[in-house]
């Protein structure tokens, strides 16, 4: 009998360090672990793609999140821990919560949230296709500043490097305080 893996949703605004930290968590794990980067799901859309932060992307985002949740659940039911790396705001949590309840999955939610100045400074250093648009990053940073009852899931990473952030995330995960119920 396979035991379900755990799911860690590692999120925050663009340039918060999600991909780097998720890679460290997955690579240093003691159990079989998947690093699932949500950007890959968006980049798979070849025709009809809408930038996900635009209002007209709502339906696209719902479909992409459904695909992500299905993939996450499949890996976790197969016994893999899954580190989900992407912009998964509280507004996208209902399908994750439903999968957790349906499949008996343990899910934790961790928001990496450096201050806006740090976030924008990190974004300027990005290379390639990563989001660098100041207005979009500022809007998403503002959205992650409004976590409501999930505020205690946020970690200020402004003064932490990637290794320190990964260690902090490991510690909060071990505490169990960041689990979604």
What is this structure's pTM?
0.93
As a whole number of angstroms, the distance between CA 72 and CA 94 comes to 14
**Banded pLDDT at 136 (limits 50, 70, 90):** confident
Mean pLDDT in residue range 33-39: 97
As a whole number of angstroms, the distance between CA 173 and CA 179 comes to 8
As a whole number of angstroms, the distance between CA 171 and CA 110 comes to 11
Question: Euclidean distance between the first and final Cα of the chain, in Å?
Answer: 25
Q: Which residue has tokens 């580190």? A: 83
The larger pLDDT score, comparing residue 20 to residue 3, is at 20
pLDDT digits (tens, 9 = 90+) for 145-167: 999 999 999 999 999 999 999 99
**What pLDDT does residue 129 have?**
65
CB 46 within 8 A of CB 142: no
Write down the H helix ranges in 87-130. 93-103, 116-124
Mean pLDDT in residue range 87-114: 96
Which residues 6+ apart lie within 8 Å of 158 measured at CB? 114, 115, 118
For the chain, domains (ranges, CATH) are 7-175 (3.40.50.300)
The larger pLDDT score, comparing residue 138 to residue 109, is at 109
As a whole number of angstroms, the distance between CA 5 and CA 79 comes to 4
Edge to edge, what strands does the sheet with 7-11 contain? 33-37, 81-85, 7-11, 107-112, 154-155
**What pLDDT does residue 131 have?**
67
Of the CA atoms within 13 Å of residue 167, those in its CB half-sphere come to 5
**Banded pLDDT at 137 (limits 50, 70, 90):** confident
Mean per-residue pLDDT over the chain, rounded: 93
Q: Which residue has tokens 């961790």? A: 110
Judged against a pLDDT cut of 90, whether residue 6 lies above it is answered with: yes
């Amino acid at each position: 009998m396979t035991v379900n893996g755990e799911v860690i949703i590692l999120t925050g605004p663009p340039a918060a360090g999600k991909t780097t930290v998720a890679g460290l968590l997955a690579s240093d794990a003691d159990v079989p672990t998947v690093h699932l980067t949500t950007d890959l799901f968006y980049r798979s859309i070849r025709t009809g793609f809408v930038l996900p932060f635009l209002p007209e992307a709502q339906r696209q985002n719902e479909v992409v999140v459904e695909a992500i949740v299905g993939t996450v659940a499949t890996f976790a039911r197969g016994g893999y821990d899954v580190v989900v790396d992407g912009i998964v705001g509280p507004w996208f949590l209902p399908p994750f919560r439903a999968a957790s309840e349906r499949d008996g999955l343990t899910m934790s939610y961790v928001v990496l949230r450096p201050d806006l100045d740090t976030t924008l400074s990190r974004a300027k250093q990005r290379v390639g296709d990563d989001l660098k648009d100041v207005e979009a990053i500022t809007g998403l940073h503002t959205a992650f500043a409004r976590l409501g009852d999930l505020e205690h899931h946020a970690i200020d990473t402004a003064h932490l490097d990637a290794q320190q952030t990964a260690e902090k995330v490991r510690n909060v995960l071990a505490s169990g305080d960041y689990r979604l119920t």
